[in-house]
Structures are given as structure tokens and as C-alpha cells.
Amino acid sequence: MSTLSALTTQLAALETAHLYRRRRVQDAPAQPHGNSDGRAVLNFCSNDYLGLANHPDLIAALQLGAARWGVGSGAAHLVSGHTSAHHALETELAAFTGYERALLFSTGYMANLGILTALTQRGDRIAADRLNHASLLDGAQLAQATLRRYPHADLTILRQRLLTEPPPRLIATDGVFSMDGDLAPLPALMELAQDAGAWVVIDDAHALGVVGTGGRGSLAQFGMRPAATTILMGTLGKAFGTFGAFVAGADAVIETLIQRARSYIYTTAMPPALAEATRVSLRLAMQEDWRREQLRALIAQFRHGATQLGLPLADSVTPIQPLLVGSSELALAWSQALEQAGIFVSAIRPPTVPVGTARLRITLSAAHSPADVNRLLEVLGAQFAQRHREGAAPEK
């Protein structure tokens, strides 16, 4: 079989297993009411949690930044690409999160690769929650460390391993889990890490801007402050509405990343105009608590309505509200039926989630209205009733 024939066969197998992924072409800004593949849709699968991605102040800051700095940065941070705009944003992100310093990366994926490869090496042990983002798994593999994944949020198992196995150099966890919407048990986890003398890496991509006082993330949600051995990864393309990522930590951690993190050293810096826009979004996220209050109200409205309908939701108080379906085929069918009714919600299937746990990943934004949520519940209720009559409703 030729190389191309083998690829074609593999792609056909994905299609048969209902695991094939297709892109949709969007023809509107990131906002609740948009256009997907030429169809008007109400979007419930964006990570624009605070509704800032299309904010006029960010657009103006980006335009002014481009007028001053041009479009591209022209080089990596360690060559000539690091501008005063980048430097100011890093300083402000450090102050926002409560760490000594922050360091910009191009994406959250590259940031997590950078942390794990710079701070661990072959023979080191990494403990990680089984439902962590793929970038944390890939970073451990790239570092050639020994990865020990514990069952999701099961600190009893983790505690047993810490007592019976060589201590890990690092414990990695999502702050808010991207496909389930639940929070990591950080208070107990931090105690275990301290006893083991391990670093703690928190991927707060889906927490920053959303949870905790002033949107300062999952540690703040528990009333905790960063420890010297805590490292935070945050993204800028979700609640902050722009693009990029950062790592926050102690001065020595950031200097180590600058010297060793290949995903930082060998890539072009983000456009400085984008850094200027992000500085504005950071200020808005801190100052406008009404966005988080509105988001909490919408989450409560949706969960109440979904409970009334008997929909099988995961236990989440965050904007990520997974509707657990089970099979990939059924998740696709639900997603397609919703799109026909003008509601855009993606079907999440293996390997993104474990086999048998396919779902609709519904996400809410402060830019949604109560009427938008009522429309979603109306369509979901009709679909659930139809699937139940057909004997294909998801298990509760």
C-alpha cells in the first residue's frame, strides 16, 4: 500500500468511527451571534468568556499599536523582537497574578512545553492529573521524564504514590479542566507538593479572568496566594480576548525559561500591537466585575433550565458546561441537529476525552443574553425529547 493510500485508509477509519474533525469557516467576529459556513448561528462553543474579543477598546488599541509598532515584531524576544510593549505587558501580568515575573509565549501549548522541558529532564518524575490538557502530557514526553498520571482529582491515589514511590520533581494540573469545567483540588494538592518538595505547575488557561477575586484564577478562587514553588501558565486568547500566553513564577524560574525553553527561544515574538491590545483587555478584565457577575448569572440560569429538562450535565460552576452524551456518533448527531436549529456547539470526542465520554461542550460568555440562554435551552429540550422518543437519549 502506498504512503498516500495508507493515509486515505486511516482517514476513512476516522470517519467510520465518528472521530473525523472538520473545520467550519466563520464569517463574523468572535461574538454570540455569528455566521458559520454561511449560516447564521448562535455560538455556544467559544472560549471568549468575558466577551472581550470584539471589544471596541481592544480594536482601537490594536490599531493604535499597529500605527506605532507596525504589524510584526520581526524577530524572537532574544534577538530584536522584545519591545517595551511586551515588557510592560509582562510586568502587568506578573502584578495581576501575584508572581515576581511573567514571560510571554506565543501559545499556551508552547508555554507548557517550555515549562516542562526547561525544568525537568530524562529520569525526573512528573505527576499529572489524567485529564490535563494535551500540552502538559506532550511536554512531559518531550522532556523524556517519567510521567505518572493519577486518576482525575484523586488525591488519595496521588498521596499513596508520594508515600511509596520516588518523589516527583513536578506536579502538573489544570486549574479549571477544559473539557469538564471543574476546578482542581488545589489546597490539598499544594500541601502534598510542599511535603514532597515538588514544583506545582497550574495551567490556568480556562480560569484566569473568570474565577477568583478580580478574575485572578484558580488559586484566588480558593483564597490562596502563589507559593515560591508554584508556576502558573495562562493564555490570552480566552477570557482576555486576544492571543498568546504567558508563564508567571519566581524570578529564577523565568530566567531559567529564558535560557532553556526552546519554545520561547526559537520563535518570533507576538506582534507588539497585540501586546498593547492585551494590556487594555487585562485592565478591563480586572475593573469590570460585572462581566463575571453576568457570567455567573447565565451559568446559574443554564444549569437550572438544564436540570428542569433532565439534561445530563457535568458538575461545573464555570462557563464550561459539558452535556455528557456517551458515544461519538450520538455527540455528532446532537451537534448537527443543534446547528440545523441555528445553535453552534461542538461535539467533543476521543482522544480529546476518554472513550465513552463524548459530549457537547457548551460554553457561556458574558456577551450572551438571558434570551440567548433561553433559546439554547429551548432547542436542547426539543432535541432531548426527540432523542428520548427515538431511544437514543444520553444516559443521566
Please identify every residue annotated as catalytic: 178, 206, 238
Secondary structure of 328-375 in HEC code, one letter for each residue: HHHHHHHHHHHHHCCEECCEECCCCCCCCCEEEEEECCCCCCHHHHHH
Count helices and strands (H / E) in the chain.
14, 13
Where residue 388 falls (left for φ over 0; alpha for ψ -120 to 50; beta otherwise) is: alpha
Residue with cell 507559593: 227
The verdict on whether omega for the bond into residue 351 sits within 30 degrees of 0, i.e. cis, is yes
Check if the beta carbon of residue 342 is closer than 8 Å to that of residue 43: no
Where residue 43 falls (left for φ over 0; alpha for ψ -120 to 50; beta otherwise) is: beta
Length of the chain, please? 396
142: enclosing H helix or E strand: helix 134-142
Side-chain half-sphere exposure of 136, counting CA atoms within 13 A: 28
Measured between alpha carbons, how far is 87 from 89 in angstroms, rounded to an integer?
5
3-state secondary structure of 15: helix
Residue with cell 485572578: 216
Q: Pick from 334, 328, 322: which is nearest to 388 by CA? A: 334
Check if the beta carbon of residue 33 is closer than 8 Å to that of residue 46: no
* DSSP per residue, 252-321: HHHHHHHHH-HHHHTSBPPPHHHHHHHHHHHHHHHH-HHHHHHHHHHHHHHHHHHHHHT--B-S--SSEE
